């Protein structure tokens, strides 16, 4: 009995002491502090930013993402006690919440009346405070989205500030507000309360760059930023995967490849530490180390091993040709390249190996590294799998990628750990993913989309990742999908169109979504996937310099013909382009934008962006809800007889005439007009008369209609599946010189 009394006394002492500390530290009332103390103790809450919410001058609307049943209790304990809380029906009636409901005024949410009531505007105009609890879905349905419209309308009418609040970690609690059990249940996760700086509704809309006077998307984007801020981007690649292992469980199966290798988080990080230890004996911290491997568990082990060792992975595009590979090695000052003898032999890359050696780099074979591993090495790595070999920070270079070179020579893009981790988290804040998902990635990791979206996003979010070595196996990949039953897939239009032609019914029917980037998705491809597999293609947009995802459509917020809306925490500006009446050249900034370039004239030297803004080189237009339409490349404009013509626009026009074929539009010098437009096509039936008729129907100038047609069996493409315009233009010049154009 005495022991029980002593234990109760100790609990009461800790409770009271915590309450006193929180009352003084956060400025809470005594009742708030007493009721907040158990949450602070159980969930080790990080609440340093709650002072922003409490200190915001009224009128103010606190917009809380409602994930779990304890969210109202937390907010009632932490927000100023004069706040009016609009609670859902379950929270308003819950008996256990009764003590917390006594802390402030509460009313029950009524979808028919509350958000159109003038009472709320009057409350705010009277220097009031309002707490609104929004649905937690990353992709809210149209009914839920009406709440965003209502909140921003009320905030505008009352000229109130908006403060977004997101409780990181609450999505794992077993008592979810939606009633749906979480993908991963944890009774006492660490919680992190994310609070963003206050902004008025008008400031949000203006920042969104929209001409609309009332834009719910502006509020939705701000809430997504709060979700992103609740995560920790200041991690290295190794640390981010390690944290995922601790969250989803070390034994969670996370990686499988075409060779049959199946790795849990523990095995993956143990192997990465073994390789990291080996790499420290071959290189110095900060060195650029080439990685020339196909999509496989070995490639992921090498990437994480180099991150663990504090080295920079220079991912070699072995499909770019010997000349480009040699130039890349020299530009990034790569002295060692990690590869596999079996891979080089099977892929017939002897000429690429010679190019690597010609650049002064040495090949180190994985087979040799594996044979040198001792039992003691394995035992030490198994004990220390949670810890990197070399302590590093998130703001140093993590990888070097080489741009596609579709229109010129490739450039070396330097991305930090933070760039990559933030971009993966930005994607997770926009598209719903969970540890229940199975991701099929056919895009090579030397392609930025294949690295971040196809590899890092699944690894960090507990998705089972299946890596397939080549996207060109058009008949085999549908068979893999039938066996694997993936729920998510990443690809490009070129590859997706080919899979749709070769797949059998049901091969891809398990997919929840397919994210497509790197090139425009053709209407024919979209229709084929929808009709044959019932799968929606979510078109996105990115560039290597942005790690790479910039914008993406979602299942709910999807507009065909656009690439979606810009990701959270990114900003864009549009500058006029000669000859383009609507839209302009797109510039971007954000935490995912690269550290800088390395160039051939100054090898190994990082050249950061002068003002933090990246010139994408793309010409776009943005509608009043923020959906972006790519209208062309600034470099892909031709000046014909003094008129600017978008080659991309002409290409889309030709695609509508022969939708099942592949086409590319290029310009070549012309003595009379300066430049002339040439169509390169796989359509054997293509003819100039049909093009002129289409141009007349579309109302485009005659000078924008291709005057020459070059017919080919296949359009030159890069390893990413994008059209290789440089090679296509060389082909055209060669054909025209030989007089073989139509």
Topology of domain 237-630, CATH: Rossmann fold (3.40.50)
Is the pLDDT confidence value at 78 over 90? yes
- CB proximity list for 373: less than 8 A, separation 6 or greater: 274, 278
Kindly state the average pLDDT of the residues 81-102.
88
Question: Three-state SS for 386?
Answer: coil
Nearest CA among 638, 665, 645 for reference residue 654: 665
Q: Output the pLDDT for position 456.
A: 94
Beta bridge partners of 645: 638
Is the pLDDT confidence value at 208 over 60? no
CB 666 within 8 A of CB 732: yes
Distance in angstroms (rounded) separating the CA atoms of residues 736 and 637:
20
Most confident of 140-144, 332-336, 630-634, 731-735: 332-336
Distance in angstroms (rounded) separating the CA atoms of residues 232 and 240:
9
Q: Output the pLDDT for position 666.
A: 77
Q: Does domain 641-738 have CATH number 3.40.50.2300?
A: no
Report the residue count for the chain. 742
Is the pLDDT confidence value at 676 over 90? no
Instruction: Render pLDDT for 353-394 as a digit per residue (tens, 0 to 9).
Output: 998 989 889 999 998 888 877 888 888 888 888 999 988 888
Parse the chain into domains and list their residue ranges.
1-41, 44-229, 237-630, 641-738
Please tell me which residue, 301 or 493, carries the higher pLDDT value.
301
Q: What is the pTM of this model?
A: 0.83
Helix (H) or strand (E) holding 489: strand 488-491
Q: Output the pLDDT for position 719.
A: 61
Instruction: Render pLDDT for 261-288 as a digit per residue (tens, 0 to 9).
Output: 999 999 999 999 999 999 998 889 989 9
Alpha helices in 187-256 (DSSP H): 201-207, 216-229, 237-248
Catalytic option among 66, 217, 417, 473: 66
Is the pLDDT confidence value at 61 over 70? yes
Using 50, 70 and 90 to split pLDDT, how confident is the model at 396?
very high
Q: What share of the chain is helix, strand, coil (3-state, %, to 5)?
A: 40, 25, 35
Is the pLDDT confidence value at 688 over 80? no
- CB proximity list for 632: less than 8 A, separation 6 or greater: 618, 619, 646, 647, 648, 649
Tokens in use for 179? Answer: 């009633």
Percentage of the chain lying above the pLDDT 90 cut = 27
Would you call 473 a catalytic residue per the annotation?
no
Mean pLDDT for all residues in the chain: 84
Is the pLDDT confidence value at 704 over 70? no
Please tell me which residue, 688 or 292, carries the higher pLDDT value.
292
Is the pLDDT confidence value at 239 over 90? yes
Helix (H) or strand (E) holding 13: helix 2-26
Q: Output the pLDDT for position 202.
A: 85
């Amino acid at each position: 009995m005495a022991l029980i009394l002593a234990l109760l006394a100790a609990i009461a002492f800790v409770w009271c002491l915590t309450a006193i500390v929180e009352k003084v530290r956060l400025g809470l009332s005594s009742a708030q502090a007493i009721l907040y103390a158990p949450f602070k103790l159980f969930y080790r809450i990080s609440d340093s930013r709650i002072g922003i919410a409490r200190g915001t001058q009224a009128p103010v609307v606190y917009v809380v993402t409602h994930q779990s049943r304890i969210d109202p209790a937390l907010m009632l304990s932490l927000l100023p006690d004069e706040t009016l809380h609009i609670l859902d029906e379950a929270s308003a009636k819950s008996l256990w919440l009764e003590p917390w409901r006594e802390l402030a005024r509460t009313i029950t949410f009524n979808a028919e009346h509350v958000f159109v009531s003038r009472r709320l505007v009057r409350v705010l105009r009277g220097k009031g405070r309002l707490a609104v609890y929004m649905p937690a879905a990353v992709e809210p349905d149209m009914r839920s989205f009406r709440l965003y419209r209502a909140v921003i309308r009320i905030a505008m009418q009352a000229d109130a500030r908006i403060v977004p609040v997101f409780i990181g970690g609450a999505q794992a609690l077993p008592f979810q507000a939606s009633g749906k059990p979480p993908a991963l249940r944890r009774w006492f996760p660490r919680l992190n309360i994310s609070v963003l700086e206050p902004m008025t509704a008008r400031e949000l809309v203006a920042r969104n760059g929209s001409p609309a006077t009332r834009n719910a998307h502006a509020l939705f984007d701000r809430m997504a930023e709060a979700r992103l801020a609740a995560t920790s981007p200041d991690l290295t690649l190794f640390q981010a995967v390690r944290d995922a292992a601790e969250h989803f469980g070390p034994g969670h199966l996370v990686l499988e490849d075409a060779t049959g290798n199946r790795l849990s988080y523990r095995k993956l990080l143990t192997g990465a530490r073994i390789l990291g230890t080996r790499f420290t004996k071959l290189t110095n911290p900060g060195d650029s180390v080439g990685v020339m491997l196909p999509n496989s568990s070995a490639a992921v082990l090498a990437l994480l091993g180099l991150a663990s060792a504090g080295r920079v992975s220079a991912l070699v595009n072995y499909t770019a040709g010997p000349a480009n590979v040699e130039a890349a090695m020299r530009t990034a000052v790569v002295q060692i390249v990690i590869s596999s003898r079996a891979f080089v032999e099977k892929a017939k890359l002897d000429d690429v190996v010679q190019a690597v050696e010609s650049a002064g780099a040495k090949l180190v074979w994985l087979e040799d590294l594996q044979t040198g591993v001792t039992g003691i090495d394995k035992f030490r790595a198994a004990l220390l799998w949670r810890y990197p070999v070399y302590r590093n920070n998130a703001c140093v270079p993590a990888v070097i990628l080489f741009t596609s070179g579709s229109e010129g020579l490739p450039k070396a893009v330097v991305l930090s750990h933070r760039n990559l981790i933030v971009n993966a988290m930005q994607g997770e804040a926009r598209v719903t993913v969970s540890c229940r998902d199975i991701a099929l990635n056919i895009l090579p990791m030397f392609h930025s989309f294949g690295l971040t979206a196809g590899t890092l996003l699944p690894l960090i979010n507990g998705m089972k990742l299946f890596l397939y070595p080549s996207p060109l196996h058009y008949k085999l990949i549908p068979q893999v999908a039938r066996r694997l039953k993936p729920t998510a897939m990443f690809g490009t239009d070129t590859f997706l169109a080919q899979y749709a032609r070769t797949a059998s019914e049901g091969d891809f029917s398990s997919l929840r979504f397919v994210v497509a980037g790197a090139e425009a998705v053709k209407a024919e491809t979209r229709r084929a996937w929808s009709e044959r597999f019932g799968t929606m293609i979510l078109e996105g947009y990115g560039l290597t310099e942005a790690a790479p995802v910039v914008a993406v459509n979602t299942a709910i917020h999807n507009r065909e013909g656009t690439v979606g809306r810009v990701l959270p925490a990114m900003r864009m500006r549009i500058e006029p382009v000669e000859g383009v009446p609507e839209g302009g050249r797109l510039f971007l900034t954000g935490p995912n934008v690269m550290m800088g370039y390395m160039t051939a004239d100054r090898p190994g030297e990082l050249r950061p962006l002068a003002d933090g803004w990246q010139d994408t080189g793309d010409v776009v237009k943005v509608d009043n809800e923020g959906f972006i339409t790519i209208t062309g490349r600034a470099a892909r404009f031709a000046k014909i007889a003094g008129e600017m013509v978008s080659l991309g626009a002409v290409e889309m026009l030709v695609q509508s005439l022969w939708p099942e074929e592949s086409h590319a539009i290029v310009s070549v010098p012309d003595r009379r007009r300066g430049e002339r437009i040439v169509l390169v096509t796989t359509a054997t039936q293509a003819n100039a008369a049909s093009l002129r008729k289409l141009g007349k129907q579309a109302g485009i100038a005659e000078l924008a209609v291709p005057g020459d047609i070059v017919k080919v069996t296949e359009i030159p493409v890069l390893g990413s599946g994008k059209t290789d315009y440089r090679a296509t233009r060389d082909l055209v010049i060669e054909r025209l010189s030989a007089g073989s154009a139509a």
